[in-house]
């Protein structure tokens, strides 16, 4: 007889009973303890630990306790059913298995009948039935395509310099995914900071599964609604991104590294001279003395205060890099004070762990210790005093040369105690947290910008993220779009990539295409590696410069729309760049890899991120009617279109009935012609419901009513636009509203019943690129709306009803 079961390959064992305590149901099993919790009408939590272990009530990701929820617990032949208004969870008693159904009775997710939840040694597994039609999406910063079926992934934050198109893992870990089956969607968040593995049918056709190497299994199951509702529910659980300072939505220029001070000032000045809008300039590691944190290289930056002041006076914000490694050097203040307070991570014998990174041998602050976070925050005092409001946390996977920190290193884990195996994936997140919280204490009234490379679920609460050290190629540019969209599916809203590519060198076509895509990315930052070619918008020749200027200006023109999208994100967790899966998950075409680089930028703008080298490309538009942003050309949805993709434009479309608020751009945020708000109204048969949000862009006054919020409702079929009365106490500087009617034949326009004067104008969102545009004949331009009806009305805070 063949020997069958390795004794370590263990099932849960027979279920001998259960107890209900409020919204918790605990099952007694021979080999484990299982707890089911009603978390919200649409979320249930299932936890499993070994029979002699206890549940840990601690999470860096989850910020909410269970919400009081009505539920029924019904006995069935096989076990029980837990029902809320939004889901039914069937629980089979022998052996214990879970099956999640929606209210229509569709099975969303079911444990594999034979294996369900089980373990090998200390590692827990949950095997789920794999359906023929099942599509898997999410997991955040993971390479590959939108549909993850047939692939597997692990979560272990990694310094993935020049990563390949299939490499895994990268820098961040967000173990939240969604499944789509039988026309319904479910979500699963596995709250484990260990090196977890997710398998969506790689190497087997029987089940999908995930595994956590230690610490028990803690999963949240989401049901009810589509992808958008799932991501919002995940945002409820793990938090949303705070409203950023408005300047951080402007163009940001980085390189590894600009120095000395004169060079930085030169770059800043060149932006202004060339009238290319820009808000931010970065200082990468060379601004420091031998890469020591919280120091300045006095040779290259002899007078940091005056230097920072000069940039601020030019209306540039400064972002400085701050890595985690503190150089081991007697007399160096950060080292001495960290040692004195005993804040660095240690080996189990009580000695400090040392590893090598930019400054040489370093100790590493234990950011999972409250005292460390407090101390860390205080180190920023002199930078904050100079007026620096942007902080860039890098290398915080954490990485040291050799890329293998020993597992036995110990962390406080906020009093829980943990080895590196458990703390690794939250290190970057807790560093970003320490930075964000520290700056908030130093500048309580000013919004700061924090950027972090590593992160874990919930990182969106502390920092924006970028996709690390990408490469200068078309494939990488498109991979970056997929990464950004996948990050959005995991609640990370403020994301971007190194425009132009970090490693390698872009050609002018690639650079300009990348700038165009960047203009439609939440984080709009150009960056490049040491010893590479210059990579500012003017470094690739005159044509590239003109195209880049056009798209940076377009970005600034869209600022009212974009800032509102960021506001929405802070409220409900919807990311700014949304995979088509958000709104069109039940359209199977969107999972076709050819359309995987199309996305919604905010609620109403569809961007097709196309490669830089084909002048004509195919684009799929989902159902509805779409308008080419640049010239208003109308396209029917649910179809593939062949579209001109010359280098001077990126294909961008506006959803029917949309209302897009814009403004005339300036050279930096705050420089715009803010006395006029432009509302671009597009024809359609649907109802568009959105809003316009604005505030001072810099302070927290909005938390106490210092904002303006106006609903925008356009009923395309009955041709009525409602602009709601202004909520909040902030007064817009706008004096007038210009309404532009796109695709709308306007015989008559009435505002609150009164007939208005209509004039006609040509509208251009991008300028002709003078000497290079093959279409430009000095007159009609192909990227121009010919004669659009325009009505100008006074800006006032009362509600406005417009009919046309």
What is the rounded distance in angstroms from the CA atom of residue 676 to the CA atom of residue 690? 20
- Scanning residues 523 to 582, which ones bind ligand GLC (CB under 6 A)? 527
Determine whether 376 is exposed, middle or buried from the number of CB atoms within 10 Å of its CB (0-12, 13-18, 19+).
buried
- Scanning residues 134 to 173, which ones bind ligand GLC (CB under 6 A)? none
- Using the minimum distance from each CB to ligand GLC, give the nearer residue, 212 or 399: 399
Nearest approach in angstroms of CB 468 to ligand GLC is: 5
Per-residue x/- track, 494-533, ligand GLC (CB under 6 A): ---------------------------------x------
Nearest approach in angstroms of CB 463 to ligand GLC is: 14
Name the active-site residue from 469, 568, 667, 672.
469
Nearest approach in angstroms of CB 171 to ligand GLC is: 8
Looking at beta carbons, which residue is closest to ligand GLC? 256
- Scanning residues 426 to 465, which ones bind ligand GLC (CB under 6 A)? 453
Per-residue x/- track, 275-304, ligand GLC (CB under 6 A): ---------xx-------------------
Nearest approach in angstroms of CB 454 to ligand GLC is: 10
Nearest approach in angstroms of CB 478 to ligand GLC is: 20
- Using the minimum distance from each CB to ligand GLC, give the nearer residue, 285 or 677: 285
Nearest approach in angstroms of CB 396 to ligand GLC is: 10
Name the active-site residue from 88, 366, 394, 667.
394
Nearest approach in angstroms of CB 385 to ligand GLC is: 24
Which residue in the set 235, 304, 468, 560 belongs to the binding site for ligand GLC (CB under 6 A)? Answer: 468
Size of the site for ligand GLC (CB under 6 A): 9
Which residue in the set 60, 236, 256, 456 belongs to the binding site for ligand GLC (CB under 6 A)? Answer: 256
Measured over the CA atoms of residue 732, residue 738, residue 743 and residue 745, the dihedral's sign is positive
| E strand spans, 284-364 | 317-322, 326-327, 355-357, 360-363
Torsion angle in degrees (nearest 10) through CA of 454, 457, 463, 467: 40
SS3 assignment for 737-790: EEEEEECCCCCCCEECCEECCCEEEEECCCCCCCCCCCCCCCCCCCCCEEEEEE
Per-residue x/- track, 639-678, ligand GLC (CB under 6 A): ----------------------------------------
Nearest approach in angstroms of CB 487 to ligand GLC is: 16
Tell me, rounded to whole angstroms, the distance of Cα 11 from its chain centroid: 38
Using DSSP's 3-state secondary structure scheme, residue 2 falls into coil
Determine whether 727 is exposed, middle or buried from the number of CB atoms within 10 Å of its CB (0-12, 13-18, 19+).
middle
Number of Cβ atoms within 10 Å of the Cβ of 122: 13
Q: Tell how strand 449-452 and strand 390-393 pair up.
A: parallel
Torsion angle in degrees (nearest 10) through CA of 643, 649, 651, 654: -120
User: From residue 344, how far is each of 43, 324, 358, 362 by CA, in Å?
Assistant: 38, 10, 18, 10
Nearest approach in angstroms of CB 49 to ligand GLC is: 37
Asked if 6 is an active-site residue, the reply is no
DSSP state of 574: -
Which residue in the set 111, 134, 218, 394 belongs to the binding site for ligand GLC (CB under 6 A)? Answer: 394
Q: Tell how strand 464-466 and strand 449-452 pair up.
A: parallel
- Using the minimum distance from each CB to ligand GLC, give the nearer residue, 293 or 610: 293
Cβ-based neighbours of 103, under 8 Å, separated by 6 or more: 85, 86, 87, 88, 224
- Using the minimum distance from each CB to ligand GLC, give the nearer residue, 468 or 782: 468
- Using the minimum distance from each CB to ligand GLC, give the nearer residue, 254 or 559: 254
Which pairs from 270-273 meet CB under 8 Å and 24+ separation?
A: 270/536, 270/538, 271/667, 272/314, 272/667
- Using the minimum distance from each CB to ligand GLC, give the nearer residue, 443 or 503: 503
Tokens 């990182």 map to which residue?
459
Kindly report the CA angle at 362 between 361 and 367, in degrees rounded to 5?
165
Which residue in the set 469, 678, 767, 773 belongs to the binding site for ligand GLC (CB under 6 A)? Answer: 469
Name the active-site residue from 397, 536, 568, 667.
397
Asked if 394 is an active-site residue, the reply is yes
What is the rounded distance in angstroms from the CA atom of residue 246 to the CA atom of residue 565? 12
Give the HSE-up count for residue 59: Cα atoms under 13 Å, Cβ half-sphere: 23
What is the rounded distance in angstroms from the CA atom of residue 318 to the CA atom of residue 267? 13
- Scanning residues 585 to 644, which ones bind ligand GLC (CB under 6 A)? none
- Scanning residues 310 to 339, which ones bind ligand GLC (CB under 6 A)? 321
- Using the minimum distance from each CB to ligand GLC, give the nearer residue, 288 or 739: 288
- Using the minimum distance from each CB to ligand GLC, give the nearer residue, 285 or 683: 285
Residues labelled catalytic: 394, 397, 469
Q: Which residues bind ligand GLC (CB under 6 A)?
A: 256, 284-285, 321, 394, 453, 468-469, 527
């Amino acid at each position: 007889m063949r020997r069958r079961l390795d004794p370590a390959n263990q099932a849960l064992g027979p279920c001998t009973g259960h107890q209900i305590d409020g919204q918790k149901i605990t099952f007694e099993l021979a080999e484990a303890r299982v707890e089911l919790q009603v978390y919200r009408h649409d979320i249930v939590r299932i936890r499993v630990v070994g029979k002699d272990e206890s549940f840990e009530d601690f999470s860096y990701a989850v910020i909410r306790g269970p919400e009081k929820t009505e539920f029924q617990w019904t006995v069935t032949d096989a076990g029980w059913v837990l029902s809320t208004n939004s889901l039914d969870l069937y629980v089979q008693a022998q052996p214990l298995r879970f099956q999640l159904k929606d209210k229509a009775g569709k099975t969303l997710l079911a444990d594999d009948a034979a294996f369900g939840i089980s373990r090998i040694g200390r590692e827990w597994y949950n095997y789920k039935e794999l359906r023929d039609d099942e599509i898997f999406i999410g997991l955040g910063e993971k390479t590959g395509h939108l549909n993850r079926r047939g692939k597997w992934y692990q979560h272990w934050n990694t310094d993935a310099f020049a990563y390949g198109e299939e490499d895994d893992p990268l820098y961040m870990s967000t173990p939240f995914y969604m499944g789509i089956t039988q026309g319904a969607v479910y979500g699963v968040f596995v709250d484990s900071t260990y090196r977890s593995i997710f398998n969506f049918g790689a190497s087997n056709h029987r089940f999908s599964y995930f595994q956590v190497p230690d610490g028990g299994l803690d999963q949240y199951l989401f049901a009810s609604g589509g992808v958008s509702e799932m991501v919002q529910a995940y945002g409820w659980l793990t938090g949303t991104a705070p409203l950023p300072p408005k300047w951080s939505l402007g163009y940001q220029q980085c390189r590894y590294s600009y120095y000395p001070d004169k060079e930085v000032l030169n770059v800043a000045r060149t932006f202004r001279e060339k009238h290319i809008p820009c808000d931010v300039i970065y200082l990468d590691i060379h601004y420091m003395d031998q890469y020591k944190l919280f120091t300045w290289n006095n040779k290259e930056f002899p007078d940091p205060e005056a230097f920072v002041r000069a940039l601020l006076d030019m209306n540039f914000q400064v972002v400085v890099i701050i890595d985690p490694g503190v150089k081991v050097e007697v007399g160096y203040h950060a080292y001495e004070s960290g040692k004195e307070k005993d804040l660095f991570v240690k080996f189990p014998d009580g000695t400090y762990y040392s590893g090598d990174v930019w400054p040489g041998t370093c100790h590493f602050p234990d950011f999972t210790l409250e005292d460390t976070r407090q101390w860390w925050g205080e180190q920023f005092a002199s930078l904050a005093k100079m007026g620096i409001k942007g902080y860039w946390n890098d290398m915080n996977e954490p990485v040291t040369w050799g890329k293998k920190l020993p597992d036995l290193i110990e962390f406080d884990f906020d009093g829980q105690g943990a080895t590196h195996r458990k703390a690794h994936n939250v290190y970057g997140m807790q560093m970003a947290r320490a930075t964000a919280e520290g700056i908030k204490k130093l500048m309580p009234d000013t919004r700061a910008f924090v950027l972090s490379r590593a992160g874990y679920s919930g990182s969106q609460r502390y920092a924006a993220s970028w996709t690390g050290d990408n490469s200068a190629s078309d494939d990488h540019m498109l991979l970056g779009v997929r990464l950004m969209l996948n990050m959005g599916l995991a609640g990370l809203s403020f994301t971007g990539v190194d425009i132009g590519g970090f490693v390698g060198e872009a050609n002018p076509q690639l650079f300009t295409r990348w700038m165009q895509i960047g203009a439609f990315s939440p984080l709009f930052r150009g960056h490049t590696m040491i010893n590479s070619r210059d990579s500012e918008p003017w470094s690739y020749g005159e044509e590239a410069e003109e195209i880049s200027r056009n798209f940076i200006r377009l970005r600034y023109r869209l600022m009212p729309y974009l800032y509102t999208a960021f506001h929405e994100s802070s409220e409900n967790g919807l990311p700014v760049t949304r995979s088509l899966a958000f709104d069109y998950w039940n359209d199977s075409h969107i999972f076709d890899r050819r359309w995987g680089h199309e996305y919604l930028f905010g609620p109403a703008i569809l961007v097709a991120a196309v490669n830089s080298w084909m002048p004509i490309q195919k684009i799929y538009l989902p159902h509805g009617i779409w308008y080419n942003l640049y010239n208003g050309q109308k396209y029917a949805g649910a179809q593939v279109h062949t579209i001109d993709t010359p280098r001077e434009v990126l294909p961008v479309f506006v959803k029917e009935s949309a209302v897009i608020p814009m403004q005339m751009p300036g050279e930096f945020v705050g420089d715009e012609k803010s006395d006029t708000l432009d509302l671009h109204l597009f024809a359609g048969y649907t109802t568009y419901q959105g809003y316009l949000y604005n505030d001072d862009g810099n302070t927290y006054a909005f938390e106490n009513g210092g904002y303006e919020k106006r609903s925008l409702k356009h009923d395309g079929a009955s041709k009525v636009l409602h602009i709601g009365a202004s909520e909040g106490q902030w007064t817009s500087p706008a004096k007038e509203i210009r309404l532009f009617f796109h695709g709308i034949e306007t015989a008559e326009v009435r505002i609150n019943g009164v007939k208005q004067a209509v004039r006609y104008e040509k509208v251009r969102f991008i300028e002709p690129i003078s000497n290079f545009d093959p279409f430009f004949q000095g007159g009609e331009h192909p990227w121009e709306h010919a004669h659009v009806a325009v009505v100008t009305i006074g800006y006032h805070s009362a509600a406005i009803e417009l009919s046309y």
